[in-house]
């Protein structure tokens, strides 16, 4: 029996008074405030192209029919939040590079903080539901999604995967409610893709450790209460994980300015000068770089979902715009070459959806390997950049205006393309698996 949550109205449309669409993959319906046919003018009450950011529910291969109730519930919750609360104001925050604190605070209220972690007040989502949440958040905005990815996907997961039971009890509950924010400090000014060669040191001094070094690109680094710092133990040369509780003497973080992607989440340059960390803040299960890499591998598949969210936003906006915008006396969508672009975008998007569904299923079966996740991240990020490039093109000049949403996604996909292993590095990791030859290490 279909559960009530499978009512299409819950997810194909937006909240509010939009009439329910007739089918799941409803690609054809006009939006509120649509241009009058042939006039090129907006409706009387709303600005032209007012609903470009909102979801069309694109699902050409009906993959979403396979969702469980739990997955539907998470998906519908975030979709409503994005359409009703995020889209109306995100462009302004992005332009001003301001943190949308009131939207951040909504995340624990929606019960989506803590990824797949069970207990400790965390969300305890299934892997597929977790992917859907990140997809929808990124369909809304990349900064918001990145903020959650750093806090929950990286910082909370480091503690959940590498912490002792006592450490999990100490930190995770307040992170689940976001009373305390997390950061994950691995990258250094001289070590990005080769973070395995990191130079930040940890020296044991009685019942403390002393951390010295520099970190770069650390999301939430200026606002986090708990910063998971990866440093090399001077005694045995191994990389270990330490939780620095801020403010801490010798910990200095400054926001990296002038950024043209994910502007409403801040990354930091951090210097650690003799920062003293008690032994009980050393993550007991983080003994070598492999433990850090395991945390990163757990979040890599989510990057594929994030890219899907951005691409969906681009496709939906472009399709809606092509039907509303008239040139040469006809809607753009009436021109063959425009239809070809839209169909290619749909083909790309559908492929991304299938990638995501399958990595979700593999994760649920405990069979998602780092290289499968890596291939999904590589493919989806690459394809999303292509889709967003076409979407930007189809909107013409409006494609570079924040008010029409596409430009923000077009810029934000660049962050995912680079963080958590660049497209090239993911390619080399998969290349090593299929050839048996390591090309970079």
Among the listed residues 433, 436, 424, 435, the one whose alpha carbon sits nearest the alpha carbon of residue 193: 424
Of the candidate residues 192, 250, 285, 396, the single one contacting ligand FAD (CB under 6 A): 192
296 touches ligand FAD (CB under 6 A): no
The secondary structure of 192-217, three-state, reads CCCHHHCCCEEEEECCEEEEEEEEEE
Closest CA to 410 of 389, 396, 395, 393: 389
Q: Residue 440, interface with ligand FAD (CB under 6 A)? A: yes
Give whole-number Cα distances, 226 to 122, 152, 242, 441, in Å.
16, 12, 10, 32
Among 14, 157, 267, 312, binds ligand FAD (CB under 6 A): 267
By beta-carbon proximity to ligand FAD, the closer residue of 186 and 244 is 186
**Shortest Å, Cβ 196 to ligand FAD:** 11
Residue 70 or 245: the one with the smaller Cβ distance to ligand FAD is: 245
C-alpha dist (Å) from residue 166 to 48, 244, 277, 330, 352: 56, 16, 17, 66, 40
Least distance between ligand FAD and beta carbon 156 (Å): 13
Dihedral angle of Cα 113, 115, 118, 120, to the nearest 10 degrees: -30
Q: What angle do CA 195, 199, 204 make, to 5 degrees?
A: 125
- 431 touches ligand FAD by CB under 6 A: no
Residue from 97, 418, 431, 433 in contact with ligand FAD (CB under 6 A): 418
> Which of these segments, 45-53, 86-94, 185-193, 339-347, binds ligand FAD (CB under 6 A)?
185-193
Site string for ligand FAD, 341-370 (x = CB under 6 A): ------------------------------
Single out the segment in contact with ligand FAD by CB under 6 A; choices: 23-31, 328-336, 348-356, 414-422. 414-422
Asked if residue 262 binds ligand FAD (CB under 6 A), the reply is: yes
Which residues, 12 to 41, sit near ligand FAD by CB under 6 A?
Answer: none
Instruction: Judge contact between 299 and 359, C-beta under 8 A.
Output: no
Cα separation of 15 and 62, whole Å? 22
Q: Is 186 in the site for ligand FAD (CB under 6 A)?
A: yes
Output the six-digit token pair for 114.
Answer: 């803590």
- Of 112 and 150, which has the nearer Cβ to ligand FAD? 150
Q: Using the rule CB under 6 A, is 289 a contact of ligand FAD? A: no
Among residue numbers 144 through 163, which ones bind ligand FAD (CB under 6 A)?
A: 150
Please give the span between the terminal C-alpha atoms of the chain, in angstroms, as a whole number.
53
- Determine if 419 is a binding residue for ligand FAD (CB under 6 A): yes
Q: Would you say 53 or 149 has its CB closer to ligand FAD?
A: 149
| Minimum distance, C-beta of residue 421 to ligand FAD, in the bound complex (Å) | 6
Determine which residue in the list 185, 243, 362, 373 makes contact with ligand FAD, applying CB under 6 A: 185
Burial class (CB in 10 A: 0-12, 13-18, 19+), 2: exposed
Report how far apart, in Å, the C-alpha atoms of 7 and of each of 4, 213, 220, 266 are.
Answer: 6, 54, 38, 38
Nearer to ligand FAD, 86 or 296 (CB): 296
Note whether 251 binds ligand FAD by CB under 6 A.
Answer: no
Q: Is the peptide bond before 247 cis (omega within 30 degrees of 0)?
A: yes
To the nearest whole angstrom, how small is the minimum distance from the Cβ of residue 85 to ligand FAD? 23
CB of 142 to ligand FAD, least distance (A): 9
**3-class SS at 264?**
coil
We find the least distance from the C-beta atom of residue 307 to ligand FAD, in angstroms, to be: 14
Which residue in the set 193, 246, 350, 358 belongs to the binding site for ligand FAD (CB under 6 A)? Answer: 193
Give 126 or 238: the residue with its C-beta nearer to ligand FAD.
238
| 266: three-class secondary structure by DSSP | coil
The span from the CA of 67 to the CA of 107, in Å, is 22
Q: Which is nearer to ligand FAD, 67 or 104 (CB)?
A: 104
211/234 Cα distance (integer angstroms): 10
187 binds ligand FAD (CB under 6 A): yes
Closest alpha carbon to 266 in 185, 379, 396, 147: 147
184/321 with CB nearer ligand FAD: 184
Q: Rounded distance, CA 106 to CA 101, Å?
A: 9
Q: Which is nearer to ligand FAD, 223 or 262 (CB)?
A: 262
Residues 197-226 that bind ligand FAD (CB under 6 A): 217-219
CA distances to 192, 232, 238, 273, 287 from 198, rounded to whole Å, are 9, 7, 10, 16, 15
The continuous run of DSSP H or E covering 9 comes out as none
List of residues contacting ligand FAD (CB under 6 A): 150, 184-187, 192-193, 217-219, 262, 267, 415, 418-420, 422, 424-425, 440
């Amino acid at each position: 029996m279909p559960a009530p949550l499978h009512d299409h109205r819950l997810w194909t449309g937006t909240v509010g008074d939009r009439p329910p669409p007739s089918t799941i993959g409803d690609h054809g319906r006009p939006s509120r405030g649509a241009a009058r046919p042939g006039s090129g003018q907006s409706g009387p009450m709303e600005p032209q192209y007012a609903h470009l950011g909102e979801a069309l529910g694109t699902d050409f291969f009906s993959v979403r029919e396979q969702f469980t109730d739990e997955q539907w519930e998470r998906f519908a919750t975030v979709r409503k939040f994005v359409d009703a609360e995020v889209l109306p104001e995100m462009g302004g925050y992005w332009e001003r590079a301001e943190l949308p604190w009131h939207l951040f605070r909504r995340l624990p209220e929606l019960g989506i903080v803590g990824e797949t972690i069970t207990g400790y007040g965390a969300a305890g989502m299934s892997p597929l539901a977790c992917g859907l949440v990140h997809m929808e958040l990124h369909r809304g905005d990349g900064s918001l999604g990145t903020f959650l990815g750093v806090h929950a996907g990286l910082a909370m997961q480091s503690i959940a995967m590498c912490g002792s039971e006592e450490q999990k009890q100490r930190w995770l509950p307040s992170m689940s409610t976001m009373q305390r924010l997390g950061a994950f400090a691995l990258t250094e000014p001289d070590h990005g893709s080769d973070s395995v060669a990191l130079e930040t040191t940890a020296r044991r001094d009685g019942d403390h450790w002393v951390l010295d070094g520099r970190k770069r690109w650390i999301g939430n680094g200026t606002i986090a209460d708990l910063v998971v710092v990866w440093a090399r133990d001077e005694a045995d040369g191994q990389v270990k994980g330490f939780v620095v509780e801020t403010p801490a003497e010798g910990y200095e973080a400054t926001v990296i300015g002038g950024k043209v992607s994910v502007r409403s989440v801040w990354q930091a340059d951090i210097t650690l000068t003799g920062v003293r960390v008690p032994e009980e803040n050393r993550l007991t299960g983080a003994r070598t770089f492999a433990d850090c890499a395991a945390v990163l591998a757990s979040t890599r598949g989510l990057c594929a979902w994030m890219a899907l969210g951005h691409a969906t936003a681009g496709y939906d906006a472009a399709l809606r715009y092509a039907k509303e915008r008239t040139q040469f006396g006809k809607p753009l969508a009436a021109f063959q070459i425009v239809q070809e672009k839209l169909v290619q975008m749909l083909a790309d998007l559908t492929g991304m959806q299938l990638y995501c569904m399958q990595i979700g299923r593999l994760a649920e079966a405990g069979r998602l390997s780092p290289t499968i996740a890596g291939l999904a991240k590589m493919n989806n990020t690459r394809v999303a950049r292509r889709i967003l490039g076409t979407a930007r093109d189809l909107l013409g000049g409006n494609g570079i205006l924040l008010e029409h949403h596409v430009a923000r996604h077009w810029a934000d996909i660049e962050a995912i393309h680079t963080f958590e292993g660049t497209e090239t590095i993911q390619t080399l990791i998969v290349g090593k698996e299929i050839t048996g030859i390591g090309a970079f290490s």
